[in-house]
């Protein structure tokens, strides 16, 4: 191979690569399942030697060792664009910060606003090919943009990373890499597909019939979007396409079953477009060198104007609560961060703008508190600290296990009535009473009798 000599010259021990980190630096660790987890662990080992090292990442799936080693933030300041399950307790302890953003903005944020604040980029990649390229595999959302502005680029080679064909910015050449480390310890993390509950299945059954043949789909994270994928197979849907941010196990199933062909896509026909993937090892193996897939950076996949170019684009995302005027909160419970905005707003807007498109916000009608009390997820108003993920002016379809309603073009009073109709029956009278007291439902729409 032409580049073997250069590879050997740049190959570095992980402990030596970790020593590149100096006090006061900004370092980036990559994205979701494509994070340089081995290097993060090595950097954590140097905690006592370092001060004021600022770390950025997106969707850290494993235990963050730099936070675990330094919960008082005396050495590391850990920042994440999308809070994951194992990070929440650290956020609750006050030793982890969230960076709000719309997902499609990430490459621009780096190239324009953070271009002088990336001292070292540590990126997980595939082994190098014969042309000297490393592929970002399952996490290419903004990896190339980060590398483009970084003062130093270190790639962490993982032989288990699938090589995913792409549109652009899916790979980096060895000439743009300063150091190479080899990760023989960490596999690509797998995202377990939670078992769908009976409520998930009912919501999916409400939504699936509204997805037409020839639609292009985006599915969010969780059990319910996955069960929708399975129902699309059972319902005999035909010639679906994929334009999404996250590629999932259910999407691999849809392709293998012939339900997804991409033949009817207006944009990138025949290709399942995505910017990252999270799922099982079986799915990662399916993705490897699979030319039916096309990985793009997130400023392409999640740009609402790009999304809207697919006719019949369907977006399916989850929510924590929805208020009676249609404000959607999907990322916080009060001031406590659960996740992040991600691409929900991007796809809700893009799917609505699409000719024949539909954007669904899906949620269980109720949840249980720690003390076992049942509460409604459809609420009169958001509470203090709840982040508005999707403004009411953009929300369209909302689905629970009790049905699907479309809020577009409806007054606040009409919206309240519609949302109450798909709330849990035990809460409908209370919701209507509060909506009337707050004048969300005006006199003309109020019931004459209780």
Is residue 196 very low, low, confident or very high in pLDDT (cuts 50, 70, 90)? confident
Do 138 and 206 belong together in one domain? no
Asked if residue 187 is part of any domain, the answer here is no
Total domains in the fold of the chain? 2
Q: How far apart are CA 381 and CA 77, in angstroms?
A: 34
- Alpha carbon 367 to its chain centroid, in Å, reads 23
User: Which neighbouring-strand residues pair with 406?
Assistant: 397
Q: Residue 447 has what pLDDT?
A: 62
Structural domain ending residue among the three candidates 182, 215, 238: 182
User: Regarding beta strands 366-368 and 374-376, do their DSSP bridges make them parallel or antiparallel, or are they unpaired?
Assistant: antiparallel
What percent of the chain is modeled with pLDDT above 90?
92
**Helices 223-234 and 198-207, interaxial angle, to 10°?**
50
Do 170 and 272 belong together in one domain? no
Do 292 and 156 belong together in one domain? no
Do 168 and 76 belong together in one domain? yes
Average pLDDT of the chain to the nearest whole number: 95
User: Regarding beta strands 313-318 and 216-219, do their DSSP bridges make them parallel or antiparallel, or are they unpaired?
Assistant: parallel
Do 79 and 154 belong together in one domain? yes
**Of 40, 42, 106, 245, which residue is the catalytic one?**
245
User: Which neighbouring-strand residues pair with 358?
Assistant: 314
Do 310 and 261 belong together in one domain? yes
Asked if residue 450 is part of any domain, the answer here is no
Supply the range of the domain harboring residue 167.
4-182
Indicate the helix (H) or strand (E) that contains 98. strand 97-98
Q: Residue 449 has what pLDDT?
A: 46
Nearest to 41 by CA among 22, 59, 67, 73: 67
pLDDT above 90 for 446: no
At 370-388, the pLDDT tens digits run: 999 999 999 999 999 999 9
Report, as an integer, the average pLDDT of 288-314: 98
Q: Which CATH number belongs to the domain containing residue 149 in this structure?
A: 3.40.1080.10
Do 432 and 365 belong together in one domain? yes
Straight-line distance from the first to the last Cα atom of the chain, in angstroms, rounded to the nearest whole number: 80
CA dist 134 to 12, 154, 174, 299, 340, Å? 16, 12, 7, 21, 29
Q: Residue 450 has what pLDDT?
A: 44
Q: Residue 7 has what pLDDT?
A: 98
Q: Which CATH number belongs to the domain containing residue 336 in this structure?
A: 3.40.1080.20
pLDDT above 60 for 342: yes
pLDDT above 50 for 238: yes
Do 176 and 233 belong together in one domain? no
At 207-224, the pLDDT tens digits run: 999 999 999 999 877 777
Do 113 and 210 belong together in one domain? no
Token output for 117? 């604040």
Sheet holding 97-98: strands in order across? Answer: 97-98, 76-80, 53-58, 26-31, 120-125, 152-157, 179-182
Report, as an integer, the average pLDDT of 116-131: 98
Q: How far apart are CA 200 and CA 206, in angstroms?
A: 10
Lowest-pLDDT choice from 122-126, 182-186, 218-222, 280-284: 218-222
Q: Is 245 a catalytic residue?
A: yes
Asked if residue 48 is part of any domain, the answer here is yes
What percent of the chain is modeled with pLDDT above 70?
99
Indicate the helix (H) or strand (E) that contains 43. helix 37-44
Q: Is 449 exposed, middle or buried (0-12, 13-18, 19+ CB in 10 A)?
A: exposed
Asked if residue 192 is part of any domain, the answer here is no
pLDDT above 60 for 410: yes
Do 122 and 223 belong together in one domain? no
pLDDT above 60 for 15: yes
pLDDT above 90 for 169: yes
């Amino acid at each position: 191979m032409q580049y073997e000599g250069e590879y050997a010259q740049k190959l570095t021990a992980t402990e030596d690569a970790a020593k590149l980190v100096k006090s006061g630096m900004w370092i980036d660790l990559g994205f979701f399942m494509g994070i340089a987890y081995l290097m993060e662990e090595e950097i954590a080992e140097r905690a006592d030697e370092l001060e004021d090292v600022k770390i950025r990442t997106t969707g850290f799936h494993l235990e963050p060792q730099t936070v675990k080693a330094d919960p008082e933030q005396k050495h590391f300041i850990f920042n994440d664009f999308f809070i994951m399950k194992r990070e929440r307790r650290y956020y609750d302890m006050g030793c982890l910060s969230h960076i709000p953003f719309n997902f499609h903005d990430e490459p621009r944020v780096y190239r324009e606003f953070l271009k002088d604040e990336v001292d070292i980029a540590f990126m997980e990649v595939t082994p190098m090919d014969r042309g000297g390229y490393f592929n970002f595999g399952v996490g290419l959302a903004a990896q190339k943009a980060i590398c483009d502005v970084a003062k130093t680029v270190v790639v962490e080679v993982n032989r288990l990373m699938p090589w995913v064909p792409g549109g652009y910015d899916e790979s980096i050449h060895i000439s743009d890499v300063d150091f190479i480390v080899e990760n023989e310890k960490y596999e690509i993390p797998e995202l377990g597909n939670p078992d769908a509950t009976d409520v998930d299945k009912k919501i999916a059954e409400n939504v699936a019939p509204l997805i037409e043949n020839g639609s292009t789909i985006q599915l969010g994270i969780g059990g319910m979007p996955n069960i929708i994928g399975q129902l699309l197979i059972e319902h005999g849907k035909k010639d679906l396409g994929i334009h999404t941010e996250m590629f999932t196990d259910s999407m691999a199933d849809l392709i293998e079953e012939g339900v997804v062909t991409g033949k009817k896509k207006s944009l990138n026909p025949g290709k399942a477009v995505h910017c990252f993937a999270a799922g099982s090892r079986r799915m990662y193996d399916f993705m490897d060198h699979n030319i039916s897939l096309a990985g793009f950076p997130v400023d392409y996949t999640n740009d609402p104007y790009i999304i809207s170019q697919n006719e019949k684009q369907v977006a399916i995302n989850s929510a924590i609560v929805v208020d009676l005027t249609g404000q959607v909160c999907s990322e916080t419970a009060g001031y406590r961060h659960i996740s992040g905005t991600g691409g929900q707003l991007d796809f809700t807007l893009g799917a609505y703008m699409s000719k024949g498109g539909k954007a669904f916000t899906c949620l269980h009608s109720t949840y249980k508190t720690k003390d076992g009390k049942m509460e409604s997820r459809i609420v009169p108003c958001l509470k203090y600290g709840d982040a508005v993920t999707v403004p009411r002016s953009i929300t369209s379809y909302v689905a629970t296990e009790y049905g699907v309603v479309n809020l577009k073009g409806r007054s606040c009073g009409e919206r309240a009535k519609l949302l109450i109709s798909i709330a849990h029956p035990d809460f409908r009278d209370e919701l209507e009473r509060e909506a009337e007291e707050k004048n969300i439902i005006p006199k003309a729409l109020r019931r004459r009798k209780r």
